[in-house]
Structure 1
Amino acid sequence: MGKFNGHLYPGLYLFSYGLYQATVVFKAIIVNDSLLCPSCPFKNKGMWARLWGISYGGWVKVVTGSILTVYVVICLDDGMVLMNRKQLSRFMYPKEWQHLTMFILLTLNGCVDVTSKNLLRQRCVILEKGTLLLIYCVLLMLLVSHVQGSTGVEQRVHSLLIVVVFQLMLVLAVELWAPNAFLLSLIETFLFLMMGSWLMQAGFILYRPVTGYPWQDDDVRDIVFVTVFFCWHVMINALCLLGIYGISSFWHRCYSPSLKMTGSKEAPYHASPEGPVYKLLPKVERSEKDEQVPLLPESSP
């Protein structure tokens, strides 16, 4: 699991989660909705309203973390052995145990999200954000120990990943005081995309190079191009966010019924001339009375 698949599958999940989170954030920005409590389009619809309130992101974390945990256990022939039976003082499979710890934390994070959103009487956002922050603090420590003993290309690849995880940890810490900030959520989404895409790239760099030739640790040019590829990932993910925003904006402006309904309701409100009409009506009535009063004595003889 510590080889190619250990980088590809978690990276694919993180990148997919970043894409989903980007659509959620951009929808809230375009519709001017809340990130924490999005409005439900199915009001008083019973089953549809309950389905809308399900924590799909939490369940995806639970299922993905459980599958990856089982995969780590069964991918080893001897199983997840902590110590060697012949040499009790020797720990076995340190990197696999690190991956197992990461995936168990992902499963626990999903359980917290489901509990907070669907089981508690009132959603506790601080609990969700605090758990996610704690998980990435542990992930940062695991990654720092993961690069022990590595040199050259592998050390540079994981060092750049550590930079992304550290920045994400800082953003999650600030979100404890501002959980509904759009800018912080956008930065968090971008960092999730960076983690996912760079993990997949790390699998190809370290274990399955596209060119078919392995990267050389003693070649300075290979180490330099690792950083160059990381910078390309920064630009590509930024363009990906820009494209998602354009597609989301076009979709919600043209095909979203909620925006059309709100637009049709707001248009007559702004163009409503109720104020001036109510001020003019008493004047019209008084003028009619004034015209009728002098006519009565003339017609009486």
Structure 2
Amino acid sequence: MGTFIGHAYPGLFLLSYGLYQAVVVSKAVIFSDSFLYPSSPPRNKGRWARLWKISYGGLLKTLAGSGLLVYEISCMKRGLILMNRELPLRVMYAKEWQHVTMYILLTLNGCVEVVSKNLLPQHCVPLEEGTLVLTFYVLLLLLVSHVQDSAGVELQVHSVLILVVLLLMLVLTVQLWVPDTFQLSVIETFLFQIMGFWLVQAGFILYKPGTGYPGQDDDLIDIMFVTTFFCWHVMIDALCLLGIYGVSSSWHCCYLPSWKLTGSREAPCYTTTVGPLYKLLREGDQSESD
């Protein structure tokens, strides 16, 4: 991960996941739908019917984590060795092992999401949320340890990243007790976008600066500008989130106006949220009885 690709590729994954979540959250807000059990448009039943039920978010996590894990191991010339063979014994590639741990957790989190949504008899949201929270707790610990030998610009870049991870960890922790909440879902999506954008930007700042010259660790102006640049990213991500909501709203209103009435929903198991389809069925029963 200590390369441009090592920062850019995880950033692109997080950015893609954040954009995907932004579309999902926008659709749920537009239709006053559930964030955990969103409605889906009617599909033709046939050979490919199960394709629409695949957990694309979990699949993306699994593929990205596996790919990054293979890339990290392939970058080591002698392979990923835990300890040397000479005395005294010393742990080898400490930072690389931290990267491997992050990617393994990402892969496991994706596998848990796929199993929960596609293989278990009922969708187990607490299992998914608990695994995701555990992943970010471990990620925060690894990042704090990861910057012990950093200084100057690199330390500032990773410090604001740690701040985002800390906020995201707190939001995910609160969601364990208050699931399916509009405000928390929007904040979670927003933080994922910031984290992805900033990781990509960190690759350029540290390894491919636009000026062609790396930042000076003893220059306070360079260090201060990192924070300013991060604030610009926050504003850009906020505008991006609003833009996705606007485009989604226009798309659903103009081209898919019947989704809310004809959408199908999986039977929830661990939530008390009443979906729009259930409300429609209940109103229909009351009208028949009258």
- Equivalent in the alignment of 1:204: 204
Structure 1: tracts of 5 or more residues without a match: 263-301
Code of the residue aligned with 1:228 in structure 2: it is T
What are the Cα deviations for residues 87-126 of structure 1, in whole angstroms up to 9, with x where unaligned?
4522211111111110000000011001111111111101
- Equivalent in the alignment of 1:149: 149
Deviation for aligned residue 1:62 = 1.0
- Report the structure number with the largest CA radius of gyration: 1
- Equivalent in the alignment of 2:258: 258
Structure 2 counterparts to residues 83-94 of structure 1, below 5 A: 83-94=83-94
Structure 1 residue matching 2:177: 3-state secondary structure: coil
> Are the equivalent residues in 2 in contact too, given 1:33–1:39 (CA < 8 A)?
yes
- Equivalent in the alignment of 1:82: 82
Say if 2:114 is the partner of 1:104. no
What are the Cα deviations for residues 195-229 of structure 1, in whole angstroms up to 9, with x where unaligned?
10111111111111111011000000000000000
Task: Tell which has more relative contact order, 1 or 2 (C-alpha 8 A, sep 6+).
Answer: 2
Structure 2: tracts of 5 or more residues without a match: 263-290
TM-score, with length taken from structure 1: 0.84
What are the Cα deviations for residues 145-167 of structure 1, in whole angstroms up to 9, with x where unaligned?
00001111111111100000000
Change (3 A) 1:220 1:260: closer
What are the Cα deviations for residues 29-81 of structure 1, in whole angstroms up to 9, with x where unaligned?
11222111122322672445422221111111111111111111111111101
Say if 2:127 is the partner of 1:140. no
Say if 2:229 is the partner of 1:232. no
Structure 2 residue matching 1:84: 3-state secondary structure: coil
- Equivalent in the alignment of 1:296: none
Deviation for aligned residue 1:3 = 1.5
Deviation for aligned residue 1:177 = 1.5
- Equivalent in the alignment of 1:24: 24
Q: Distance in 1 between matches of 2:260 and 2:149?
A: 59
Structure 2 residue matching 1:7: 3-state secondary structure: helix
Change (3 A) 1:100 1:260: closer
Deviation for aligned residue 1:85 = 2.1
* Identity percentage of aligned residues: 68
Q: Distance in 2 between matches of 1:238 and 1:185?
A: 14
> Are the equivalent residues in 1 in contact too, given 2:82–2:91 (CA < 8 A)?
yes
- Equivalent in the alignment of 1:244: 244
> Are the equivalent residues in 2 in contact too, given 1:17–1:192 (CA < 8 A)?
yes
> Are the equivalent residues in 2 in contact too, given 1:40–1:49 (CA < 8 A)?
no
> Are the equivalent residues in 1 in contact too, given 2:152–2:218 (CA < 8 A)?
yes
> Are the equivalent residues in 1 in contact too, given 2:28–2:38 (CA < 8 A)?
yes
- Equivalent in the alignment of 1:216: 216
> Are the equivalent residues in 2 in contact too, given 1:42–1:49 (CA < 8 A)?
no
- Equivalent in the alignment of 2:41: 41
- Equivalent in the alignment of 2:272: none
- Equivalent in the alignment of 1:4: 4
RMSD: 1.7
Q: Distance in 2 between matches of 1:85 and 1:16?
A: 42
Structure 1 residue matching 2:153: 3-state secondary structure: helix
Q: Distance in 2 between matches of 1:247 and 1:23?
A: 9
Structure 2 counterparts to residues 248-287 of structure 1, below 5 A: 248-259=248-259
Deviation for aligned residue 1:258 = 2.2
May I ask how many residue pairs the two structures share in their alignment?
A: 263
- Equivalent in the alignment of 1:295: none
Code of the residue aligned with 2:171 in structure 1: it is V
Q: Distance in 1 between matches of 2:217 and 2:43?
A: 60
TM-score, with length taken from structure 2: 0.87
- Equivalent in the alignment of 2:278: none
Change (3 A) 1:44 1:94: same
Code of the residue aligned with 2:63 in structure 1: it is V
